[in-house]
Amino acid sequence: PNMAETARQSGAGVILMHRQGLPPNMQDDPRYDDVVREVAAWQTERLAAAETAGLDPQTLALDPGIGLGKTTKHNLQLLANLPTLARSAGGRPLLIGLSRKRWLGEITGRSIPAERLSATMAGVVWTAMAGAHVLRVHDVGAARDVLLVLQALQKERRAS
């Protein structure tokens, strides 16, 4: 209950992360009428609440909670619409955590999380190109290499 005050007093950064339900049951039957619209509205609401609580907007980042109270379809809809989520983040950084998630295994048929590196890297490229600012990954070296190649290609395209 004192998290906002503690963060305000210390100047700590805060990540506002969406999830539906609680960890023991949030994957049981997640439902949304329009997951993108609902998460975007939640982001706007949480940003306003954080600012009302006295938090410096410059210390805030938003995480749509990929895989947390969401089906594979929900996750795909959110990631396909990252620009919408970025707009509802009010210019604040957007954090995406998709590394090794179960829904990637559902798409690829990889039941073992450690075997989802390629799927994770595909998501890293997609989210970086779609406007994510922070990527939470397990395989930092691989993600770094993927992003360095992506940046080199983008730089070359701009120079051409």
For residue 152 the two structure tokens come to 């080199």
92 is catalytic: no
Any idea what DSSP says for residue 135? Answer: E
136 is catalytic: yes
Q: Residue 50: CB partners within 8 Å, gap ≥ 6? A: 4, 14, 16, 57, 60
Q: Catalytic: which of 73, 101, 102, 158?
A: 101
Helix 140-159 crosses helix 117-130 at what angle (to 10 degrees)? Answer: 40
Q: Catalytic: which of 19, 87, 102, 136?
A: 136
Active site residue ranges: 101, 136
